[in-house]
Amino acid sequence: MKEQWRLLETGYGSAFTNMAMDRAVLVANSEGKVLPTVRFYGWEPSAISIGYFQSLAEEIDLDVCKKLGVDYVRRITGGGAVYHEKELTYSIVISESHRAIPKNIMESYGKICGAVMKGLENLGIKSTYVPINDIITNGKKISGNAQTRKAKTVLQHGTVLTDVDVEKMFSLLKVPNEKIKDKLIADVKERVTSIKHVLGKEVLFEEIAHAMKIGFEQEFNVELVKGALTEEEKELTKKFEKECFSATNWNHRR
Amino acid sequence: MNKESPLMKMQYRSVYKVPNGKLLKIRLKYDEKSNLIDEINITGDFFAYPEEAIESMENKLKDTLLEKEILLKKIGSIVREENIQFIGVDVESLTKGILMCKK
């Protein structure tokens, strides 16, 4: 019988809830209270997440965010700023010592990205892993990924772009030089793609989540069993949301 | 801002795209007479494990002399003490980014 992991399909959530939930699952798993977990989710309202080491004020135009009703949040993972609107986000939480996870951080990025690539393939999209943390198709980025390890537990989350609005994204992000903004937008349009763009049609969130579920099952040779957050995880989510991810001293700390 | 005032040190910045790596953005205040680091912020889209160690690195770099060999040695020893694993930056690029702040 195949090893069973937990599948969480938590739908659309705010940036603060989304990041708090990933961290709550990380804590619960590190304490041995829940199975390795794969989660799929979306962002409502749309939001920008920045990497742990980025400066909020340097990366994001906070006034434009406010005006457009776009939330912003600092992640516990490193990496760059991401505008989350039309995408599916996954997270995986699993013990560092699990046989499925390479000890080496770089190798583990590749392994987990392998699951995302199999998921894309299930949608008819061929893709390639570009170390450190990108997945590309036809030479353009379709997925970005970021990993942290805490309490001997791996959390990796990442995006699969379903559609992309580069102009809107750039109105929210600070660019070093306004004069070259048009060129930057053109560059990013050349470098980023989406499921809609590749397939020439819209694919439902649920359909993408299903393809990704199968992808994770194939890559890790496990069965993902639909589950729910434990009461303790729900409490932790609320706590992290309030004390960390929606708090000024967290988001503005750098 | 008055450069000479000891209370109002200028903040200097650098942006350095690490070859085959990530974008490193450093903000630095330093004593222009002694050439010692007063305050440093290491930001960017890189990865470091454990993440919190970057804050101890910033603290430990205080009062370090802004010279290449000294910085290389100091950052190298912090990386060992804190058992830091970097992805997208390294000891050399951090040193270079810091020195790029100096006018």
In a domain, B5, yes or no: no
Which pLDDT belongs to residue A185? 86
From the list A76, A79, A148, the residue facing B45 with the nearest CB is A79
Contacts of range A173-176, beta carbons closer than 8 Å, 24 or more positions apart: A173/A48, A173/A59, A173/A60, A173/A61, A173/A81, A173/A83, A174/A58, A174/A59, A174/A60, A174/A61, A176/B15
Under an 8 A CB cutoff, do A148 and B49 touch?
yes
From the list B27, B50, B54, the residue facing A53 with the nearest CB is B54
Mean of the per-residue pLDDT values of chain A = 96
Q: A-chain residues within 8 Å CB-CB of B56?
A: none
User: Strand A140-150's sheet: what is its strand order?
Assistant: A128-130, A134-137, A140-150, A153-161, A87-95, A37-43, A3-13, A222-226
Where are the domains positioned within chain A? 3-251
Tell me the ipTM for this assembly: 0.93
Distance CA A217, CA A223 (A): 6
Helix (H, G, I), strand (E, B) or coil at A146: strand
User: What is the DSSP secondary structure assignment for residue B10, as one 8-state letter?
Assistant: P
Mean pLDDT within A65-89: 96
Task: Specify the CATH number for A3-251; select among 3.30.930.10, 3.90.1530.10, 3.40.50.300, 3.90.25.10.
Answer: 3.30.930.10
* Nearest chain B CA: its distance from A3 CA (Å): 29
Mean pLDDT within A105-123: 98
In a domain, B52, yes or no: yes
Q: Is residue B8 pLDDT above 80, yes or no?
A: no
Which pLDDT belongs to residue A207? 97
Q: What pLDDT, in 10s, does the model give residues A45-76?
A: 999 999 999 999 999 999 999 999 999 999 99
In a domain, B92, yes or no: yes
Mean pLDDT within B35-45: 97
Record the pTM: 0.94
Q: In the structure, what pLDDT confidence band is assigned to residue B5 with cuts at 50, 70 and 90?
A: low
Q: In the structure, what pLDDT confidence band is assigned to residue A151 with cuts at 50, 70 and 90?
A: very high
Number of independent structural domains in chain B: 1
* Nearest chain B CA: its distance from A198 CA (Å): 27
In a domain, B3, yes or no: no
Under an 8 A CB cutoff, do A254 and B43 touch?
yes
* Nearest chain A CA: its distance from B55 CA (Å): 10
User: What is the DSSP secondary structure assignment for residue B84, as one 8-state letter?
Assistant: -
Question: Tokens 């970021």 belong to which residue?
Answer: A146
Which CATH number characterizes residue B38's domain?
Answer: 3.30.390.50
Structural domain harbouring B59? 11-100
Q: In the structure, what pLDDT confidence band is assigned to residue B2 with cuts at 50, 70 and 90?
A: very low
Mean of the per-residue pLDDT values of chain B = 92
Q: What pLDDT, in 10s, does the model give residues A216-246?
A: 999 999 999 999 999 999 999 999 999 999 9
Least confident of A91-95, B10-14, B41-45: B10-14
Q: B-chain residues within 8 Å CB-CB of A78?
A: 45-48, 51, 87-88
